[in-house]
Chains A and B, each alone.
Chain A
Amino acid sequence: MERTIDLINERIRDGNAVVVTAERMPDLVAELGEEGALAEVDVVTTGTFGAMCSSGVFLNFGHADPPIRMERVWLNDVEAYSGVAAVDAYLGATQQSETRRDQYGGAHVIEDLVRGHPVEMRASSRGTDCYPRRTIRTELGLADLNQAVMVNPRNAYQRYNAAVNTTDRVLHTYMGMLLPNHGNVTYSGAGVLNPISNDPSFRYIGSGVPIFLGGAEGMIIGEGTQHSPAGGFGTLMVSGDLKAMSPDYLRAATMHGYGVTLYLGLGVPIPVLDLETVRATAVTDADIQVDVVDYGVPSRARPALRKVSYAELRSGHVEIEGEEVATSPLSSFRMARQVASVLADRISSGGMTLALPTRSIDRTKTARPMRETAQGPRVREIMDRQSVAITGDEPVTVAARKLLKGETNHLVVLDSEGRLAGIVTTYDLSKAVLRPERARSVEDVMTRRVITTGPDEPVDIAAQKLQRNNISALPVVDADRRVVGMLTGTNLSRLIGRGRI
């Protein structure tokens, strides 16, 4: 008999459906063969539990008396978007509290609501004839809201690139803490249990499909934002009723130095209707590859150091440039398993039936980068084109004279080929005055590890270098390390004067 979704749902209702998690499938197929697995299994459940920044809830507060058309609204000091009629708001998970900064945000408000904690709502308005009230302040719990609907624009990434840092300082990113000199690798995603990785052709993952979301029954709206399945980075837009969710599957978090995010459990059941589904759900961690990307490069096109499979990442170590480097997941595999198995239990106990997509999701799309019509300022536009140079063998007295004559605080030190070898500042020379016996020539006092910028570097990146290193100037060098200018704090302040930043 041909397998249909109705037949599977009938078996679910009768309590006879065989439901397994995607982690079991590779072994089942090895044991029973593809045909055997098809005959045996009705539904495969997937699950993931990780940071899903692109999440949030629509809240309806009902009308106050006298009524207010909320123009700005805050929940526990976290602002929600209220440009959607009078008493609705969308609270984003990553929005931070105005008073507690990254220690509390939209995700924490959502978790507090789900935990049954009341939150303080305040709103303001300019007042209209139909909505005369201008301010309101009240305490609300989840039960007081007419609707609290989670709508997440981009969840359940098919896979996610692993992160590494080749710079010499610690980076704090949304991929967690990245130690210098590729000291560790972080990654995210449930690999073998990942929903889209078990149906990469989007045959059964599509609009209207019921899912597990935060402990409640939710549904797939359609493709997520940044959906890029052509490269293996599909995403889903999903929704679910916050009132039915559980704090076990919804946890607020803070990535140090990045900000607030929401950890969320999401699982998609896949009906096993044909051999192609059997093959797709037999995917293993070894089959799913991602790049290890260098977050030390402050550009969208971050270079990849190598490709790696989830199997390697989950082994605890990967080899990067000849060294064994420890890995850390940022998503919880234990919780991903729990999501998949709780979803399996719900289905096999008849608590949830399946549906085919009402609309299919595009499997060929590629997300494009932002079109930028106005380029931000570059270093070459604001740098000083003159710099005062010296060589390392010259005495410090010559350096002092040059600094005074050049009316500058920085001398670039050039080697015999005219390339940048160091920098000398008035501070270095002051030290030389105090310890004349140790500092005779420029070489003795100069800084050799010079932090530099390039003429085409965005000014924002150069400004970050000045600030982070607490320095006042950057030599501007070309690809050959020849000095083509200097960028100082004064150059930056002129930019502010011109209103360019």
Chain B
Amino acid sequence: MKLVVTFSRKRGREPVIAQVVRDTGVLINVERAQIDSHEGEALIEVPDEACQLVRERMEALGATTRRLDRTILYDRDECIDCGACISICPQDVFGFDEEWRLTVDEGRCVLCGKCELACPHRALSLQL
């Protein structure tokens, strides 16, 4: 399960993710993080069964969390199976099947957005 966690810097610089890992014992995979002067946002992956627990603990520490059900939106009608997205993806989301048809492993996506720019046919867009 992927969660988008938003921290407000107004609450200081508490290590929310580290705190939750220690408190709950759940191993959290931080896939992407963006922190600027007033706000921080992180994309994390947690085991499905621990999702509720992690969300509750994070919210108690002042962060807000949002479940991410979809990552990359793939428009099969626009795609011509060129594969321009394959080599620019840091997560190996894309590949070909035996028929040279594009395969999309959405679960691996960390929403970096590179493929959205690289697709010549606007077949890929981010769900944020």
Chain A contact residues, CB within 8 Å of chain B: 49-51, 172, 176-177, 179, 184-186, 251, 253-256, 261, 263, 316, 325-335, 337
Tell me if A255 and B82 are in contact (CB < 8 A): no
Chain A residues near B101: list those with CB within 8 A: 334
Is B32 on the interface with A (CB-CB < 8 A)? no
CA distance A172 to B114 in the complex (A): 11
Chain A nearest CB from B70 CB (Å) reads 23
Q: Which residue of B lies closest to A336 (CB)?
A: B100
Q: What is the interface of chain A mostly: helix, strand, loop, or mixed?
A: strand
Q: How far is the CA of A51 from the CA of B120 in the complex (A)?
A: 9
| Contacting residues, chain B, for A185 (C-beta < 8 A) | 87
Question: How far, in whole Å, are A327 and B89 apart by their CA atoms in the complex?
Answer: 11
Q: Which residues of A contact B120 (CB under 8 A)?
A: 51, 176, 253-255, 261, 263, 330
Number of A-B contacts (CB under 8 A): 71
Q: How far is the CA of A326 from the CA of B80 in the complex (A)?
A: 20
B8 to chain A, nearest CB (A): 28
B121 partner residues in chain A, CB cutoff 8 A: 251, 253, 263
A172 to B67, CA, bound (A): 33
Given contacts A177-B88, A179-B88, A337-B100, contact A329 B118 (CB under 8 A): no
On chain A, the residues within 8 Å of B68 by CB distance are none
Residues of chain B lying within 8 A (CB to CB) of residue A176: 84, 88, 118, 120
State the main secondary structure of chain B at its contact with A. Answer: loop
**Docked-complex contact B114 and A328, CB < 8 angstroms:** no
What total of chain B residues lie within 8 Å of the partner, measured CB to CB? 20
Least distance between A163 CB and chain B CB atoms (Å): 11
* A301–B83 CA distance with the chains assembled, in angstroms: 27
Least CB distance, A413 to chain B, in whole angstroms: 31
How distant is the Cα of A9 from the Cα of B117 in the complex, in angstroms? 47
Beyond A177-B114, A177-B118, A256-B118, is A334–B100 a contact (Cβ under 8 Å)?
yes
Contact B80 A177 (CB under 8 A): no
User: Which chain A residues border B100 with CB–CB below 8 Å?
Assistant: 332-334, 337
With A51-B120, A256-B118, A263-B120 known to touch, is A184 a contact of B88 (CB < 8 Å)?
yes
- Provide the residues of chain B in CB contact with A254, threshold 8 Å: 120, 122
Cβ-closest 10 pairs across A and B: A184-B87, A253-B120, A328-B87, A326-B87, A334-B100, A177-B118, A334-B81, A333-B100, A329-B83, A256-B117
**Complex interface bits, B75-92 against A, C-beta within 8 A gives 1, otherwise 0:** 000001111111110000
* In contact, B118 and A332 (Cβ under 8 angstroms): no
30 pairs from A and B in contact (CB 8 Å cutoff): A172-B117, A176-B88, A176-B118, A177-B88, A184-B88, A185-B87, A186-B87, A254-B122, A256-B118, A261-B120, A263-B80, A263-B120, A316-B86, A316-B96, A326-B87, A327-B87, A328-B84, A328-B85, A329-B82, A330-B82, A330-B83, A330-B84, A332-B80, A332-B83, A333-B81, A334-B100, A334-B101, A335-B80, A335-B81, A337-B100
**Which residue of B is nearest A255, CB measured?**
B120
| CB neighbors of A among B103-128 (8 A) | 114, 117-118, 120-122
